[in-house]
Structure 1
Amino acid sequence: MRQTRRDDGMKQTFVTLSEFRYQLRRFLRFSEEAAHAQGVTKLQYLLLLHIKGFRGREWATVGELAERLQAAPNSVAALVSRCEAAGLVRRWRSNADHRQVEVHLRARGERCLRQLAALHQAELGSLAAVFAVFRTAGAREV
């Protein structure tokens, strides 16, 4: 039985989405292994990344990090405690609002993050062509 043009288009949509999810998972797996090789967990790496990557300043609050990690604030507070014990971050009570706690990178966390960022940037560079195909295919098919 011959597929219609619509069926052919839907098949290509599934192929494109499948390939995208595969490449995304490969990158996430790479990220997890790179973090582990640096002696941190994937969540610790993400916490460091979101602190350094917070727009406009070099620190973030627990609430802001919870939003970035899509996690409960109490879980993020526990993660911050583990990172603090590992010498990666430090907490300061905010001078502007004493109810808030600022989370800052320590020198060890900064070094770890810089090493991981270099590895991730190289890996993203290798995936650039793959994701460019998705942008053009997605505009036509999805």
Structure 2
Amino acid sequence: MPADAMNADEVAEPLTKADFEALARFRFGIRRYLRFSEQTVRAHGLTPQHYQLLLALKGFPGREWATMTELADRLQLRHHSVGELVNRAQAQDLVHRAPHPADARAVRVELTSQGQRALARLSALHRDELRRMRTALALPDWSNPTEGES
């Protein structure tokens, strides 16, 4: 358990009915979005994992490539799982490997032009869906808790 995670028995203040409703609404919105994403990428011939890989590469801070170690961190996967995912994506001409400019032991993973096109198409659909779901995915606002709610 992360050091900053609270034990369930150490709740700072009791939750109200409105809190539970807000949490449930937000969780439902996340699940709806994830289901949309899974169905959309599959309809376009990719797996959700491939879409996540492409997005992690294009969205990597400061550059449009990443090492296998960086991808493992971004995707929250083990290094060998990322290797298998990159192999499958490379077989579909979505990504390619290139030598790392500063570290001969590392490999850069980059998008191909086909990967760029697939990502642009899918990301536009995801952006549009997020715009439609803005209310469902709004974070609950607990900045001013109301006294006596239940």
TM-score normalized with structure 1 length: 0.88
CA distance in 1, matches of 2:133, 2:100: 40
Q: Find out whether 1:27 has 2:43 as its counterpart.
A: no
% identical aligned pairs: 44
1:3 alignment counterpart = none
1:76 alignment counterpart = 82
Q: Find out whether 1:13 has 2:13 as its counterpart.
A: no
CA distance in 2, matches of 1:140, 1:105: 45
AA paired with 2:93?
Answer: G
2:5 alignment counterpart = none
Matched residue of 2:93: which SS?
Answer: coil
Displacement after TM superposition at 1:131 (Å): 3.2
Instruction: Please identify runs of 4+ aligned residues in structure 1 that moved more than 2 A.
Output: 129-132, 138-141
Q: Deviations over 1:18-69 (max 9, x none)?
A: 1100000000000011110111000000000000000111101111110011
1:124 alignment counterpart = 130
Matched residue of 1:103: which SS?
Answer: strand
More helix by share: 1
CA distance in 1, matches of 2:52, 2:69: 15
Displacement after TM superposition at 1:17 (Å): 0.5
The 1:131/1:139 distance shift into structure 2, 3 A limit, reads: farther
How many residues align structurally? Answer: 133
2:47 alignment counterpart = 41
Q: Find out whether 1:139 has 2:143 as its counterpart.
A: yes
Gaps of 5+ in 1: 1-5
Matched residue of 2:110: which SS?
Answer: strand
CA distance in 2, matches of 1:124, 1:97: 38
Matched residue of 1:131: which SS?
Answer: coil
AA paired with 2:41?
Answer: A
Alignment partner for residue 67 of structure 2, among 61, 77, 80? 61
AA paired with 2:134?
Answer: A
CA distance in 2, matches of 1:27, 1:100: 34
CA distance in 2, matches of 1:98, 1:37: 38
Matches within 5 A, 1:76-115: 76-115=82-121
Gaps of 5+ in 2: 1-12, 146-150
Q: Which moved more, 1:88-97 or 1:39-48?
A: 88-97
